[in-house]
Amino acid sequence: MIRVAVAGAAGRMGETVCSAVEGAGDMELTGRADPKLGTAVADVLGDADVLVDFTQPETALGNVREAVAAGVHAVVGTTGFDVDELVGLTGANVFVAPNFAIGAVLMMRFAAEASKHMAKAEIVELHRDGKLDAPSGTAARTAKLMEGDVPIHSVRLPGLVAHQAVILGDVGQTLTIRHDSIDRESFMPGVLLAVRKVGSLEDSPVVGLEHLL
Ligand SMILES: NC(=O)c1ccc[n+]([C@@H]2O[C@H](COP(=O)([O-])OP(=O)(O)OC[C@H]3O[C@@H](n4cnc5c(N)ncnc54)[C@H](O)[C@@H]3O)[C@@H](O)[C@H]2O)c1
């Protein structure tokens, strides 16, 4: 059994991750850390093999450092912080994905491929209002994987979950590659896969779900 603690356990993603871990036959949910629950990350590390972090841009880095220092592997979904800050941490492994949905991983791959063949591209990403970072981690990662300068437009509205269109243009034609997460369940197979694999990574940190597929 993999013992899993969740940071941000009272949040939208954290609650969904807690349920997914409880539903996985090979995992045990051993801790829920969240200021809203009165439990700090330090309180849950003693019983955990893996910490899953879905918190906030300004807290994720500190949580991961604490976990790794305690020998606990970290799976990070939080976006909006500098992933380079995780380079060089020793003691346990770190896996980060700006998007754990398989469809989003494919969207990024197809967009990278299409950018080699079409003149220009722009990204429109749409998320719930109240999301703390813009552009989204997925959009920033997509732009990084594509050729050329790719401007990003951010839309924040109630009712949205996580959506992105990559629009490419060339003489007389456009191509739109679009992904929609309409439910947070879309991220759970990717999160559980990362929990299962983070302990055996040969490198750390590893960024992107594509490296586990
Ligand atoms: N990688 C992905 O696939 C993916 C998918 C969706 C969302 N996200 C990202 O996940 C993060 C969380 O999103 P959300 O919608 O669940 O936000 P949310 O605001 O609903 O939840 C965040 C939770 O973190 C808690 N928190 C704050 N500081 C903490 C700390 N130091 N330790 C423990 N918990 C702490 C907050 O109290 C809150 O309950 C965001 O960065 C978002 O962009 C990533």
The C-alpha atoms of residue 114 and residue 74 are separated, in whole angstroms, by 33
**Residues 66-120: pLDDT tens digits?**
999 999 999 999 999 999 999 999 999 999 999 999 999 999 999 999 999 999 9
The C-alpha atoms of residue 165 and residue 124 are separated, in whole angstroms, by 5
DSSP 41-106: HHHHGGG-SEEEE---HHHHHHHHHHHHHTT-EEEE---SS-GGGGTT--SS-EEE-S---HHHHH
Helix (H) or strand (E) holding 166: strand 162-170
User: What is the DSSP secondary structure assignment for residue 168, as one 8-state letter?
Assistant: E
Alpha-carbon distances, residue 150 vs 64, 140, 141, 167 (angstroms): 30, 9, 11, 10
Atom of ligand 1 at shortest range from CA of 9: 39
Catalytic, 153? Answer no
CB-based contact 162:185 (threshold 8 Å): no
CA of 8 to the centre of ligand 1 (A): 5
Is residue 33 lining ligand 1, measured as CB closer than 6 Å?
yes
3-state secondary structure of 136: coil
Number of Cβ within 10 Å of residue 89's Cβ equals 18
pLDDT band at 138 (very low <50, low <70, confident <90, very high): very high
CA of 120 to the centre of ligand 1 (A): 33
Atom of ligand 1 at shortest range from CA of 131: 43
Residue tagged active-site, from 73, 116, 120, 127: 127
CA of 22 to the centre of ligand 1 (A): 19
pLDDT at 79: 93
